[in-house]
Structure 1
Amino acid sequence: DRVRGAKLPPGNLKLHTLEEAYTTDNWIVRIYKVKPLDNLGRTLQQAAAFGEGKKRRAKSKRRSGNN
């Protein structure tokens, strides 16, 4: 950010609650809209992870053979 003198983090940023609605040709103006809530009751981060194929598996309980 040149005006505020702030450094942006390296790499691409992942937006979970916003999505880009419009960007001018020279990227001076960018407009975002808030993403709608998920139908399944997941948080927006969980829904985004599922969409990217990074769905978390449920932890399985390890059984010991000495019972």
Structure 2
Amino acid sequence: MRSNGTVKWFNDAKGFGFITPENGGKDCFVHYSAIVGTGFRTLAEGDRVQFEVVDSAKGPAAEKVERVAAEA
């Protein structure tokens, strides 16, 4: 199931960060390899994203992360 959320923080040097889901669940871990795209894959604090939540050994994680265009 796809969820929407906002990037809480993302560290380019380490290649990971966290997304806060809109539904109020626990923050989801996101690794750069889960970001859909080519080239240097990164996210910025405050980016709106759509993603799939998977359960990992350390808690919820985001997969298939895509930026959502800002609404005009």
Please tell me the TM-score bracket, short chain as reference. Answer: under 0.3
TM-score by length of 1: 0.27
Larger gyration radius, structure 1 or structure 2:
1
Q: Which has the higher strand share?
A: 2
Q: Which has the higher helix share?
A: 1
TM-score by length of 2: 0.26
Structure with the bigger RCO (C-alpha within 8 Å, sep 6+) is 2
